[in-house]
């Protein structure tokens, strides 16, 4: 599967978990959470210090999510990605997206390789907003720049 096919497959799932959704209302992770909800996804948040965020149930770990999810979007620092990747594998998650817009994001080469070695479909980098129709202008600009530089997935 190409990276773009993995992205389309991930976004085609309906039950997803976002790991690392912040308590801070203006944090980008909250914008992503609300956009998934607006687009009709059955989404849950994983945050060990919250019961719910914006009306969405929170779970302390991915293994605690019930019913299970079709995919996980990691919005955490790369330093914890290995731990979360291991938890995803343990929970039977088959799709993991390591978010990155600028900088390192959640991407950890070691965590991605760990998942892939265990049959988990991995997306290392990028942001869902770049691939949704009707995203805001800043996301369209980000996608256009990726296309210009040849880093936009095909």
Residue by residue, DSSP assigns 67-134 as S--SEEEE-S-GGGHHHHHHHHHHHT--EEEE-BSSSSTT--HHHHHHHHHTT-EEEESB-GGGTSTT
Give the residue extent of every domain in the chain. 3-149
Q: pLDDT tens for residues 51-86?
A: 999 888 899 999 999 999 999 999 999 999 999 999
List the Cα angle 16/18/22 in 5-degree steps: 155
Q: What is the pLDDT of residue 130?
A: 80
- Tokens, residue 114: 């760990």
Q: What is the pLDDT of residue 136?
A: 63
Q: Under a CB-based contact definition with an 8 Å cutoff, are residues 41 and 32 in contact? A: no
The structure's pTM equals 0.89
Q: Under a CB-based contact definition with an 8 Å cutoff, are residues 29 and 74 in contact? A: no
Q: pLDDT tens for residues 16-57?
A: 999 999 999 999 899 999 999 999 999 999 999 999 998 888
CATH of domain 3-149: 3.40.50.720
Q: pLDDT tens for residues 7-20?
A: 999 999 999 999 99
Q: pLDDT tens for residues 101-140?
A: 666 778 999 999 999 999 999 999 888 988 767 766 565 6
Q: 3-state class of 51 per DSSP?
A: coil
């Amino acid at each position: 599967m190409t990276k773009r096919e993995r992205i389309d497959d991930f976004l085609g799932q309906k039950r997803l978990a976002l790991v690392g959704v912040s308590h801070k209302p203006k944090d980008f992770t909250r914008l992503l959470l609300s956009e998934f909800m607006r687009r009709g996804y059955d989404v849950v948040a994983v945050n060990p210090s919250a019961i719910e965020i914006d009306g969405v149930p929170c779970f302390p770990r991915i293994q605690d999510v019930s019913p299970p999810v079709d995919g996980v979007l990691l919005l955490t620092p790369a330093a914890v990605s290995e731990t979360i990747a291991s938890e995803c594998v343990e929970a039977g998650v088959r799709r993991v997206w390591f978010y990155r817009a600028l900088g390192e994001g959640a991407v950890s080469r070691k965590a991605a390789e760990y998942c892939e070695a265990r049959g988990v479909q991995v997306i290392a980098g990028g942001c869902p907003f770049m691939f949704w129709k009707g995203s805001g202008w800043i996301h369209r600009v980000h996608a256009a720049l990726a296309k210009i530089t040849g880093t936009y997935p095909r």
